C-alpha cells in the first residue's frame, strides 16, 4: 500500500479522493486549512513551505502519489486575484516541486493536479498575467488584473488554471519528472457540485451565469465520479499518460471550442517544432 499527499483534503473533490485512497488501504497525508494531517494556509509563503516540509517529514521522503486539489473559486474582493494566484498556482507548483524527490524515490509515482475547463472556456484571459505566473511573479500577475474591474476574479481564476495546466504540460515531459518515473497530469473538471460551487450558486448574479453556461449533458458533475477519474489517474493504468489535461466537464469545452483542438502545427510553428525534435535527439545522444 502506498502513501499519498492530498491538498484540499477537507472538502469537495479532495475529500472524496482522500476517502477513496484510505478505503483502498493507502496512507493519506491531507493538507488543508482544517481537518487535515497538515494544517496550512497555502495562500502564504510560510504556509506553503510549512506544508511542503511537514508532508516530507510525515512520508519519510517517499510518496507514491499526490493530488493537488486545494483551490478557491473566483472570489470577490480587493485582493482576490493575488489570493487566487497564490493558492491555485503557487499552492500547486511549489508543493509539487518540493515533493518531487520523494515522488521520484518510489519510481512509479503519479501526480494529479486539479485544473479546470475555465482554462479553455473563459474568453480573453490576459496573457500577461499567465506569463507572469509561469515566471512565479504573482505580484505582477495581480497588477495586470487590476485593469479588469469586476471581471478580474473570473479572469484571474481562469488565468490561474491556464498557468497551472501549462506548467503541468511543460514539466511533465522533462527529465526531472518523466525521466524519474513520475507521471504528472491534470484533470479539468466542469461545474461540479461541491461546496466551492455551492458558494457561487448562493450569489444570484453568479448563479445566473453558472446556469446559463452550456453543459451538453445538462447537469452538474458529481464529486465522487470526478474522484474516480482521479483515482484512475493515480493508478498504474496511468503509466503511459504524461502531461495530459483530461477534461471531465459534461461537454462544455467540446461544445464551445470544438475546432480549437486537435490542430496541426501551423507553418509558422514548424521551426520551433523541429527544434523540439533536435533537442530530443541531442538529449538521447548525451545519455
Q: Is 11 in the site for ligand NAI (CB under 6 A)?
A: yes
The Cα 207–Cα 224 span in angstroms is 22
* Residue 157 a catalytic site member: yes
Site for ligand NAI in 95-124 (CB under 6 A): 114, 116
- H helix or E strand, kind and range, residue 28: strand 27-32
Q: Work out how close the CB of 43 gets to ligand NAI at its nearest, in angstroms, rounded to a whole number.
A: 4
Given the residues 89, 157, 255, 273, the one annotated as active site: 157
**Would you say 40 or 144 has its CB closer to ligand NAI?**
40
The Cα 86–Cα 258 span in angstroms is 31
**Would you say 28 or 192 has its CB closer to ligand NAI?**
192
Contact pattern from residue 36 through residue 55 relative to ligand NAI, giving x for each residue in contact according to CB under 6 A and a dash for the rest: ----xxxx------------
Q: Work out how close the CB of 116 gets to ligand NAI at its nearest, in angstroms, rounded to a whole number.
A: 4
SS3 content of the chain, % helix, strand, coil (to 5): 55, 10, 30
Residue with cell 517529514: 57
Q: Is 231 in the site for ligand NAI (CB under 6 A)?
A: no
**Would you say 221 or 243 has its CB closer to ligand NAI?**
221
Q: Work out how close the CB of 269 gets to ligand NAI at its nearest, in angstroms, rounded to a whole number.
A: 29
Q: Is 250 in the site for ligand NAI (CB under 6 A)?
A: no
Spatial contact of 97 and 70, defined as CB atoms under 8 Å apart: no
Site for ligand NAI in 168-227 (CB under 6 A): 189, 191-192, 194-197
Q: Which of 20, 22, 27, 33 binds ligand NAI (CB under 6 A)?
A: 33
Q: Work out how close the CB of 88 gets to ligand NAI at its nearest, in angstroms, rounded to a whole number.
A: 6
Cα dihedral 93, 235, 253, 153 sign: negative
Q: Give me the residues paired with residue 245 across strands.
A: 186
Spatial contact of 68 and 7, defined as CB atoms under 8 Å apart: yes
Q: Is 164 in the site for ligand NAI (CB under 6 A)?
A: no
The Cα 273–Cα 266 span in angstroms is 10
Site size for ligand NAI (CB under 6 A): 27
Tell me how many helices (H) and strands (E) the chain has.
13, 7
Q: Which three cell numbers stand for residue 114?
A: 486539479
C-beta pairs of 208-214 under 8 Å, 24+ apart in sequence = 213/121, 213/252, 214/252, 214/255, 214/256
What does the binding site for ligand NAI look like in residue numbers (CB under 6 A)?
Answer: 8, 10-14, 32-33, 40-43, 69-72, 87-88, 114, 116, 189, 191-192, 194-197
Active site residues: 157
Amino acid at each position: 500500500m502506498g502513501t499519498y499527499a492530498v491538498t484540499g483534503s477537507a472538502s469537495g473533490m479532495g475529500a472524496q479522493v482522500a476517502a477513496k485512497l484510505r478505503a483502498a488501504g493507502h496512507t493519506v497525508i491531507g493538507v488543508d486549512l482544517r481537518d487535515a494531517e497538515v494544517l496550512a494556509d497555502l495562500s502564504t509563503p510560510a504556509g506553503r513551505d510549512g506544508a511542503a516540509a511537514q508532508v516530507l517529514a510525515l512520508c519519510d521522503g517517499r510518496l507514491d502519489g499526490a493530488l493537488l486539489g486545494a483551490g478557491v473559486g473566483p472570489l470577490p474582493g480587493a485582493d482576490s486575484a493575488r489570493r487566487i494566484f497564490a493558492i491555485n498556482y503557487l499552492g500547486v507548483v511549489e508543493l509539487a516541486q518540493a515533493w518531487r524527490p520523494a515522488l521520484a524515490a518510489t519510481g512509479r509515482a503519479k501526480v494529479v493536479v486539479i485544473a479546470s475547463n475555465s482554462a479553455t472556456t473563459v474568453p480573453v484571459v490576459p496573457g500577461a498575467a499567465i506569463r507572469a505566473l509561469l515566471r512565479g511573479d504573482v505580484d505582477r500577475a495581480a497588477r495586470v488584473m487590476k485593469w479588469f474591474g469586476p471581471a478580474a476574479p473570473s479572469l484571474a481564476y481562469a488565468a490561474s488554471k491556464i498557468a497551472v495546466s501549462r506548467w503541468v504540460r511543460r514539466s511533465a515531459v522533462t527529465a526531472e519528472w518523466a525521466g524519474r518515473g513520475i507521471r504528472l497530469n491534470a484533470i479539468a473538471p466542469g461545474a461540479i457540485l461541491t461546496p466551492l460551487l455551492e458558494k457561487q450558486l448562493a450569489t444570484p448574479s453568479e448563479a445566473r451565469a453558472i446556469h446559463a453556461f452550456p453543459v451538453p449533458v445538462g447537469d452538474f458533475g458529481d464529486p465522487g465520479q470526478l474522484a474516480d477519474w482521479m483515482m484512475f489517474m493515480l493508478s498504474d493504468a496511468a503509466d503511459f499518460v504524461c502531461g495530459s489535461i483530461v477534461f471531465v466537464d459534461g461537454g462544455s469545452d467540446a461544445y464551445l471550442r470544438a475546432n480549437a483542438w486537435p490542430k496541426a502545427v501551423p507553418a509558422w510553428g514548424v521551426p520551433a517544432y523541429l527544434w523540439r525534435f533536435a533537442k530530443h535527439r541531442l538529449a538521447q545522444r548525451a545519455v
